[in-house]
Amino acid sequence: MPGLDSAISLLRQFFPPDLSYSYIRAETAPLFETLEIAAGAMFLALIIGLLFSLIIGARLPGSRALYALLTSFRSIPDLTLAILCVVLVGLGPSAGTLALTLFYSAAMGKIFADLFSSADPCAIEALHATGATRTMVAFYGLLPLRLKDLLTYGGYEFESAIRASVIVGAVGAGGIGTELVGSLNMTDYHRATTLIIMLVALIASVDFLGFYVRRQPRLLLVLAAFGAAAAWHHWPHLRVVAQALKTFRTMVPPQLPAEAVRQLPTLIGETLLIAVGGTLMAVICAVPLGVAAARNISPLFVSFPVRRLLEALRAVPEIVWGLILVGIAGLGPRVGILALGLHSAGSLGKLYAESLENVAAEPVMAMASTGGSTLSIAGFAVLPLAFAPMTVHTLFRFEWNMRAATIVGMIGAGAIGGALFNAQQLFFYRQMMAYVLITWAMIMITDAANVRLRKYWRVSEDL
Amino acid sequence: MLEINDLVVRRDSKSPAVLNRISLSVRRGEKIAILGPSGAGKTTLFRTISGFLPILSGSVSVDGVEVSGLRGRRLRNLRSQIGMISQRHDLVDRLGVHQNVMAGALGRWTTVRALRFLLRPTPSELEEARRALSRVALERKLRSRTSDLSGGEHQRVAIARALVQQPLVLLADEPVASLDPILSGQILSLLCSLANENGFTLLCSLHQPDLAYEYFDRVIRIEAGKIASDEPRQPASSSAVEVAVGA
């Protein structure tokens, strides 16, 4: 099989990684820059998101409009925002910091607002009953009632921001992502492997740190100080604002030439194909992997290595999978499907395993008392009980993959992301802006359809 | 003090009335028990008096102020005159006991003072919280975490918060629903003695007729959103126990 041979031969070029001291030392600066982008953006996004969510939670004037704005703004993928920011403020970490600040302000603002909305209504009403103002109720009720959840979500979002700071680097927004794309474009695969190893190590370290921060929230103060310093260091200079406004004027009104309009159905179709195909591939892989990783179904000698495999699959972001696979699968939607499928298989496999492990013990014990085998108990009790949470995870993954489908397009998978990236590279800013708006609309429609599907299947988001 | 005339309240326009043409006149300092099965409309009545539910028809006035149609500052001013405690866990567990107690003062504080108190309470503010807690025999818990309190202590902190509020009317919504009989007696005795000392009007919803007749001046029964009976305390059960709570 010549295709397989060429794939194996290409994969061989990634090994051995360049582990020379001089190269690793040279790459610690962009690695640190990635961390700075994430920490700086998260510091600012926490402040902005918290402020917005308190306004919404306290139902101050304009809160509904603000919530709608946050909901729609978070539908713009982080990499799309990064492209916009690179155009507006230039290449480098300032663009990355700005893009992630915008993205996570909206994301955390919405999540925190949802958390505040579901705060214990009795305690909130009791505070209102004292005659307190809405602002007072926010600080005496909403904030303390939800502080623990805010810290937990903040920690998760920081881990997510690290991955995102690598991703935004791929379009020139600084950090290790820029270096990685540079290595792959220069076919310097040994060094690309080194960077991927460094990246996986960084994500693993942040996961480890996140575990300690959740146990010792005071560590957040240290992180906040680092974030403040990073934000100060990388925030776009004021003099850039005038230039950014000037550039922005060249992006509006958005416009698509006739040829691009004719191609639009194909681009949208390809994006959907990548999202649906990637999710489908992930589900097909994740169901057996999830069952194998579930500790209440599979023996330890199976579940332990499968869990490590799932960790490895999801540790590599979709865009990095795409960059690796583009040499093997070639340009086009196929590489996007494979990239999304591999990363999502890692995420869904873990979530499926947790869903299977978290089923109520009583029905499983009742089924076990019939004397059935482990697999028959899994089929008759565990799987049916875990079906609802697994469905919700799959639907959320599809939402995620819609965003990711536009992202992987930028590294050769085609679709709308590819068209957007090409428009940016060719300085067709009005066309680029039109693609940004189309991407945003597609994701908004998918999210709305997903909400309807969850309601139709009566599966709850509260897992 | 509290005048309710032909009050009708619905959850929404299509559902049946939760409160159906209720009329009630309450004098200053009166202590009234409201009895009725779950779903009879007791909580709805209290929430309507506090301005949390819209009035479909009829009227509610507290100390001459009409509740219906109040908004913003005027609604907050009215609420600051009406204390509320309930069976539900309506304290904020992550705040300290002193912060929950002084939340009763939010209606008369500025926002800046409220935020400053969270960060740096003054000795006089802490003394006010301590005094309120001493009235419910819990001054030793001033600096405790609210999440460490027992069910009975939780309820007494809620009462201390209501005391700091200095209300004209205190609405106690099933305050002893989850407490054992001895503790229930202590809490009701405490509420009644505080009402006597401070001169506020007390409306307390209960499920237990024996407790209602033992501690209150007047007992009103609500059934299916209507007042089924309204009678003074029976003379035979006038031996309300003056229990020193926690002593």
The domains of chain A are located at 13-249, 259-456
Please name which of A117, A50, A140 lies closest in space to residue B109, comparing C-alpha atoms: A140
- Judged by CB atoms closer than 8 Å, whether chains meet at B92 and A141 is answered as yes
Tell me whether the omega of the peptide bond preceding residue A77 falls within 30 degrees of 0, making it cis: no
- Average pLDDT across chain A, whole number: 85
**Backbone dihedral angles phi then psi of residue A150, each to the nearest 5 degrees:** -60, -45
**B111 vs A125, A126, A133: nearest CB:** A133
d(CA A87, CA A83): 6
- Judged by CB atoms closer than 8 Å, whether chains meet at A122 and B86 is answered as yes
Determine the distance in angstroms separating the CA of A64 from the nearest CA of chain B, rounded to an integer. 18
Q: Which residue has the higher pLDDT, A412 or B207?
A: B207
- The answer to whether B22 contacts chain A (CB < 8 Å) is no
Per-residue pLDDT at B49: 92
d(CA A128, CA A114): 20
Q: Which residue has the higher pLDDT, B152 or B189?
A: B189
Per-residue pLDDT at A169: 83
User: Residue A411: how many CB atoms within 10 A of its CB?
Assistant: 26
Task: Average the pLDDT over B206-229 and give the result.
Answer: 89
Range name among A43-57, A200-214, B45-59, B216-230 with the lowest pLDDT average? A200-214
Q: What percent of chain A has pLDDT over 70?
A: 96
For residue A123, list chain B residues with Cβ-Cβ distance below 8 A: 89-92
Q: Report the length, in residues, of chain A.
A: 463
**A122 vs B81, B90, B111: nearest CB:** B90
Sign of CA dihedral B179, B185, B188, B194: negative
Chain B residue closest to A120 (CA)? B90
Residue A270's pLDDT band, with cuts at 50, 70 and 90, is very high
d(CA A126, CA A363): 40
Per-residue pLDDT at B247: 33
Tell me whether the omega of the peptide bond preceding residue A17 falls within 30 degrees of 0, making it cis: no
Task: Average the pLDDT over A246-269 and give the result.
Answer: 90
A194-198, A215-219, A273-277, A328-332 — most confident range:
A273-277
Per-residue pLDDT at B246: 38
Q: Do A13-249 and A259-456 come out as alike in CATH topology?
A: yes
Helices (H) and strands (E) in chain A, counts: 21, 0
- Judged by CB atoms closer than 8 Å, whether chains meet at B103 and A147 is answered as no
CATH of domain A13-249: 1.10.3720.10
Residue A328 predicted with pLDDT over 80? no
Task: Average the pLDDT over B178-201 and give the result.
Answer: 86
Residue A102 predicted with pLDDT over 80? yes
Residue A342 predicted with pLDDT over 90? yes
Task: Average the pLDDT over B150-171 and give the result.
Answer: 88
Per-residue pLDDT at A463: 44
Q: What is the pLDDT of residues A147-183, one digit of tens each?
A: 888 877 777 787 788 878 887 887 888 888 888 888 8
Q: Which tokens hold the place of A132?
A: 């307190």
Residue B202 predicted with pLDDT over 70? yes
Q: What is the pLDDT of residues B57-114, one digit of tens each?
A: 899 999 888 988 888 888 888 888 898 888 765 888 888 999 999 998 888 888 899 9
Alpha-carbon distances, residue A234 vs A177, A244, B192 (angstroms): 16, 16, 63
d(CA A43, CA A228): 6
How much is the ipTM here? 0.80
Task: Average the pLDDT over B198-226 and give the result.
Answer: 90
- Judged by CB atoms closer than 8 Å, whether chains meet at A123 and B92 is answered as yes
Residue B235's pLDDT band, with cuts at 50, 70 and 90, is low
- Judged by CB atoms closer than 8 Å, whether chains meet at A130 and B80 is answered as yes
- Judged by CB atoms closer than 8 Å, whether chains meet at B103 and A140 is answered as yes
Task: Average the pLDDT over A89-104 and give the result.
Answer: 90
- The answer to whether B137 contacts chain A (CB < 8 Å) is no
Alpha-carbon dihedral of residues B194, B196, B199, B202, nearest 10 degrees?
70
Residue B129's pLDDT band, with cuts at 50, 70 and 90, is very high
Residue B43 predicted with pLDDT over 60? yes
Angle, CA B147 vertex, CA A126 and CA A127 arms, to 5°? 15
Task: Average the pLDDT over B211-230 and give the result.
Answer: 89
Count of alpha carbons within 13 Å of A407, Cβ hemisphere only? 28
We find that the CATH architecture of domain A259-456 is Orthogonal Bundle (1.10)
**Backbone dihedral angles phi then psi of residue B53, each to the nearest 5 degrees:** -125, 145
**Residue A199 CB partners (closer than 8 Å, separation 6+):** A166, A176, A180, A316, A320
Q: Are B157 and B100 in contact (CB under 8 A)?
A: yes
d(CA A106, CA A111): 9
A102-106, A204-208, A390-394 — most confident range:
A102-106
Residue B236 predicted with pLDDT over 70? no
Residue B33's pLDDT band, with cuts at 50, 70 and 90, is very high
Per-residue pLDDT at B153: 87
Chain B residue closest to A146 (CA)? B94
Range name among A97-106, A213-222, B64-73, B128-137 with the lowest pLDDT average? A213-222
d(CA A345, CA A324): 17
Q: Which tokens hold the place of A70?
A: 């946050």
- Residue of A130, A133, A145, A151 to mutate, interface with B, max B Cβ within 10 Å: A130
Per-residue pLDDT at A181: 81
Helices (H) and strands (E) in chain B, counts: 8, 10
Per-residue pLDDT at A104: 92
Count interface pairs A-B at CB distance under 8 A: 84
Per-residue pLDDT at B238: 43
d(CA A350, CA A287): 10
**Backbone dihedral angles phi then psi of residue B32, each to the nearest 5 degrees:** -120, 135
Q: Which residue has the higher pLDDT, B161 or A329?
A: B161
Per-residue pLDDT at A3: 62
- Residue of B74, B79, B92 to mutate, interface with A, max A Cβ within 10 Å: B92
Q: What is the pLDDT of residues A351-362, one digit of tens each?
A: 899 888 887 777
Q: Are A354 and A323 in contact (CB under 8 A)?
A: no
d(CA A51, CA A454): 30
d(CA A64, CA A56): 7
| Residue spans of alpha helices (H) in chain B | 42-49, 72-80, 97-102, 111-119, 123-135, 151-165, 181-198, 209-215
**A126 vs B76, B90, B105: nearest CB:** B90
**Backbone dihedral angles phi then psi of residue B225, each to the nearest 5 degrees:** 80, 5
Task: Average the pLDDT over B142-164 and give the result.
Answer: 88
Q: Which tokens hold the place of A454?
A: 């969850």
Q: Are A349 and A380 in contact (CB under 8 A)?
A: no
Please name which of A159, A164, A145, A163 lies closest in space to residue A212, comparing C-alpha atoms: A159
- The answer to whether B158 contacts chain A (CB < 8 Å) is yes
Q: Strand, coil or helix: what is B20?
A: strand
For residue A58, list chain B residues with Cβ-Cβ distance below 8 A: none
Per-residue pLDDT at A168: 83
Q: Helices A300-315 and A258-293: crossing angle, nearest 10°?
A: 160
Residue B244 predicted with pLDDT over 70? no
Task: Average the pLDDT over A58-81 and give the result.
Answer: 87
For residue A144, list chain B residues with Cβ-Cβ distance below 8 A: 92-95
d(CA A381, CA B143): 49
Residue B241's pLDDT band, with cuts at 50, 70 and 90, is very low
Tell me the sheet residues that pair with A233: none
Per-residue pLDDT at A2: 52
Task: Average the pLDDT over B114-132 and give the result.
Answer: 92
Q: Which residue has the higher pLDDT, A220 or B110?
A: B110
d(CA A209, CA A162): 12
- Judged by CB atoms closer than 8 Å, whether chains meet at A130 and B95 is answered as no
Tell me the sheet residues that pair with A419: none
